[in-house]
Chain A
Amino acid sequence: MSCLRMVGSAVACLLLPGEAASAQELAINLPSPATSLARLEYDLHSMLLLVTGVIFLLVLAVMLYAIVRHRKSAGHIARQFHENTTVEIIWTVIPLLILLAIAWPATRAVLNQKSTHGEDMTIKITGYQWKWRYDYLDDNFGYMSHLATPRTMPAGSTALPAHYLLEVDEPLVVPTGRKVRLLLTANDVIHSWWVPQLGIKQDAIPGFLRDAWFIVDQPGIYRGQCSELCGKDHGFMPIVVEARSPEDYARWRDARLKQAAASADDPSRVWSLAALRERGEKVYGQNCVPCHQASGKGIPGSFPALDGSPVVNGDKAAHINIVLNGSKKNPAMQAWGKQLSDTDIAAVITYERNAWGNHTGQLVQPAEVKAARGGAA
C-alpha cells in the first residue's frame, strides 16, 4: 500500500504543481499518519483518489472529444440514435464491479477501526463547552485541557503564535506502542474528538459512552480540534496529544500522581480574602470568560453581566446556588458543581463578589460550598 501512498501524494501534488515544493507549509493531503489506523485511512483515501481521478479524467476526455468533434460549427450532422442496451448494461455493471473492489478493503478498515478490545490502558475523554477533560481510569487521576493561545488578536497586530488555536495548557499524554482505548462522552452538547494524525474522529455524546482506540508509533506532538459544532467557542477547544516513550510516560504519570495527592484541596481549610480572590481570578479565566467576558460585562442579550449583577452583589446563598447548580432560565449557565472543586467554586464566587465594580468585601469559604452541595443533594 505504500506505493499507493506515493501515487496519492503525486496525484495531489500534480493538482498544484507550483506548490509541491512548499507542501510542508501548504498541506493538500491528509497529514502523515502516526498510527496504523491513520495509515489505513490514508492508503484507502489515496486509492479512492486514484480511482475517482481516473474515472473523472475518462468522463472529461470523452466529453471533450464530443465537444470538439461533434459540434455544429464543425459541420457535424447529428446521428439520431437514442438507445443501446449493450452499452447501457456495460456502464451499469462496470461501476458496480469497481464499487465491489473498493468495498472489500473498506470493510476491512471499518472492522479494524471498531476493534477496541485488548487495550493496555483506558482514558476517558469528556467534552465540555469549551474544553476537554482527560481521566486516566487505570491510575485514577484526571485534568482539564484548555486552549492556551490568546483567543483574539488585537487589531493591527501581525504576529500570531506558530500554533495559534492549537495549543493547550495540559495535553493528553500517552505512551507509544501501547494500545490506548478511549471512552468518550460529553457534559453538555455533542462534541467530536478529532486528531487527524492518529486517525481518530469520534463524537462525544452527553449521556452515552462511545469508544475508539489508537497505538501511537513515534513520540511526538499531535494536534487536532473539536469537529462538531458545539456552540459559541467550538473553534476554540483544540486537542493536543503528546506521545512519550513508555519510560518517559511512566515518569510523567508518577509525577502526576504525586502532584494530584499534594494539591488535593482540603475543603475545611479557611482562606484569606486575598488568596481566595487570586485563585478565583484564575478559575474565572479558565471557565467563565467565554460568556461573562473578562470585563464581567457579559454579552448583552445572551450572557448577563456580573459587574453590578444583583445576584453577585446580593445574598451569598443564591450566588452559590446558581454557580453550583446552573440556571434553569438560561441553560447556557451550566451546573459547575459537576466540574469544579469546592475550593474552586468558593474562589470564583469570592472573586466575582470583589471584582470590577463589585465591592461586597465578602468571601465564601470552601466549607460553605460543601455545605450547599450537601443541601442540594
Chain B
Amino acid sequence: MVMAHTADPQPVVHKPHGWRRWLFATNHKDIGTLYLWFAFCMFLVGGVLALCIRTELFRPGLQFFQPALFNQLTTLHGLIMVFGAIMPAFTGLANWMLPLMLGAPDMAFARMNNWSFWLLPPAMALLLLSFLVPGGAAATGWTLYAPLSVQLGMGMDLTIFAIHILGVSSIMGAINIVVTIINLRAPGMPMMRMPMFAWASLITAYLIIAVMPVLAGAVTMVLTDRHFGTHFFNAAGGGDPILYQHVFWFFGHPEVYIMALPAFGIVSQVIPTFARKPLFGYTSMVYATSSIGVLSFMVWAHHMFVTGMPATAQLFFMYATMLIAVPTGVKVFNWIATMWEGSMSFETPMLFAIGFILLFTIGGLSGVTLSVAAVDVQLHGSYYVVAHFHYVLVAGALFSLFAAVYYWFPKMTGRMYGERLGKLHFWWSLLWFNVTFFPMHFLGLAGMPRRIPDYALQFTTFNQIASVGAFMFGLGQLIFLFNILHSLRHGKTAPQQPWEGANTLEWRLPTPAPYHSFHEAPELETAENGVVLDMRGGKHG
C-alpha cells in the first residue's frame, strides 16, 4: 500500500503487437501509417490501370482492350486515384502530423479513427471485384453520369455501394480532424497561429462533411432509378438527366479542392523550412484558403457549360470561376515571396514543393482558360481537360504528398531517406510527368475527345509520346518505393532536427516521434504558421 502511494504512477504504455496492433489500431501514428501504405498501394493499382489505358492508346486501332473494358479502366482509374489514393493519403498525413503539430495526445476519436480506416479496404475490394461480375465494372467515367449509369450492369451497384462506404469513411475521418483541431490544441497555440497544414486540413474536413452526403444522394438516386422504379433522371417519368450533373458537381467541385487544399498546406510548411524564413502573408493565406473553400461551392456548373444552360447561368458560373483565380494567385505569390530573399537549400521535399508551385500554376492557368465558357465549348470533354486536371492532381496533390513524405519521413521513422535517390525521383517525375501530360493539351485543342479507346490518325504522335512518358513516370515511382523500403531499415539515423529551418512543434519531439506523444499538453509560446518560440512541459509515453 505504502509503495503504491509513493511510487510515481507510470502511464500504461499501450502498444499491442502483431496483427492486433494494426487491426485494433487506435494510435494516430499507426492509423496514419495504415492510411499512407493503403493509399500508396491504391496509387500503384490506379497507376497500373492508367498504364493499361496508355498501352491501348499507343497506336490507333484496337490492340489490347476492347472498348467496353477500356471504359471500365478509365472509370476505375479515376475512382481509385481520387477515393483510394489521394484522399486517404491526405487523411493519413493529417492523422500522423496534426497531433504532433498541435501538441495533442492523439486524434480526438481514437476508435472512430480505426473504423474510418478499416472501411476503406472493403470499399476498394468492392470496386475491384466489380471487374469480375457479369458486365464488368462501372464504365461511365468516374462521374457516373446518368442515364448511362442507370443502363449498366451490376458492377454499377457495387460501385454505388463502395461510394457509400467511402463516404462514411471520409466523413468520420473529417469529423475527427475538425474536433482535434478545434479542441485539442495545446495552450499557447491559437487558431491564427497554428500551422497552415492544420488550417488546410480543417477547411478540407469541412468541405468533406458538406459534400460527401451530396455524392451519396446522387448515387442513391441512380440506385433507385436502377432498381426501384423512380425516375429522377428519366425525362419520360418527369425527371431530368442534367439534375444528376448538378448534384454530382455540387459535390465534385469542392472535391477538387478537397484534393488541393491539403497540398497548399504541405507546401506552406515545406517552403518556409527550406527558405529559412517565415511564411509570407500567413493571415492572407488563411483568408485565401477559406475563400477558396467558400467559392468552391458556387462554381460547380462550369463543368456543364455544354449542357445548354441559359446564358445568364453560363455567365454567372464563368465569373464565379474566374474569381477563384484571385485567392489562388495570392497563394502562389505568397509562396514565391517566402522564397524571395531567403536562404534556400534544395533537399528533396523542397524540390517537390517548387515543382508543385510551377506545375500547379500551369494547371491553374489552363483552368482560367477553361473557365471562359465560350472557349470551354471547344475544350470541354477533350484531352485538354485531361491535361488540365492531371497538372492539378498529379503535379499538385501527388507532388505535395511526395514532398510531405520526404519532409516528415525522418520524424516518422527515425531514419533519413536516401537524398540522392529522392532527387532522382523528383527530376525523373518532373521530366516524365511533363512528357506525359503536356502533349495532351495539344491533343485536346486539335479535337481529340477524352475517354475514347481508339483515335483518328492525326492524334498518333502525341499519344505515343504520352504513352512513353506514362510508362517512364510509372517506373520512376518504384524509385520512391525502393527508397522508402531501403531507408526504413538502412537509412542513416535521423537527428531530432534534420532540417535547419524547421521550427514547428513536431520537430521539438524526439526522433522518431514516441509512440504516445504529448501525454500532457505542453505550454507553448508560438508565432504564425505554428512556429514554436518556447515550449515547457509536455510528457511522452
Contacts and interface: CB of A to CB of B under 8 A. Distances in A.
Interface in B149-208: 150-151, 153
A340 interface: no
B449 A225 contact: yes
Contact of B71 (A41, A88, A166, A229): A229
A230 interface: yes
Contacts of A71: 343-346
Contact of A299 (B62, B68, B150, B315): B68
Given A67-B354, A166-B456, A189-B151, A302 B340 contact: no
Interface in B80-135: 134-135
Contacts of B236: 207
Nearest to A200: B377
Interface majority SS (helix, strand, loop, mixed), chain A: mixed
Interface stretch (B40-48, B262-270, B304-312, B394-402): B304-312
A212 to B, nearest CB: 8
A206 B151 CA distance: 13
B62 to A, nearest CB: 5
Given A114-B311, A206-B235, A235-B453, A82 B340 contact: no
Contacts of A77: 343
A239 B203 CA distance: 45
Contacts of A205: 235, 241-242, 307-308
Looking at chain A, what size class is its interface with the partner chain? 35 or more
Given A70-B342, A73-B345, A192-B306, A229 B145 contact: yes
Nearest to B341: A79
Interface in B466-498: none
Contacts of A55: 365
B362 A56 contact: yes
Contacts of B322: 99, 102-103
Question: Per DSSP, are chain B's interface residues mostly helix, strand or loop, or mixed?
Answer: helix
Interface stretch (B11-19, B331-339, B412-420, B511-519): B331-339
A186 to B, nearest CB: 9
A226 B343 contact: no
A48 B365 CA distance: 9
Interface string A202-213: 110111101100
B23 interface: no
Interface stretch (B25-33, B212-220, B279-287, B532-540): B279-287
B330 interface: yes
A231 B139 CA distance: 7
Contacts, number: 296
Contacts of A28: 442, 445-446
Interface residues of B, number: 98
A59 B336 contact: yes
Contacts of A95: 325-326, 329
A244 to B, nearest CB: 22
B449 A91 contact: no
Interface in A89-117: 91-92, 95-96, 99, 102-103, 106-107, 109-114
A207 B453 contact: no
A306 to B, nearest CB: 18
Interface of B: 60-63, 67-68, 71, 134-136, 139-141, 145, 147-148, 150-151, 153, 234-236, 240-242, 275-284, 306-308, 310-311, 314-315, 318-319, 322-323, 325-326, 329-330, 332-333, 336-346, 354, 357-358, 361-362, 365-366, 368-369, 372-375, 377-378, 380-382, 442, 445-447, 449-458, 461-462, 528
7 cross-chain pairs, A with B, having the tightest CB-CB distances, nearest first: A207-B235, A235-B452, A109-B374, A210-B308, A27-B446, A153-B61, A52-B365
Given A73-B345, A208-B241, A236-B454, 6 more contacts: A71-B343, A92-B329, A109-B375, A110-B314, A208-B242, A235-B454
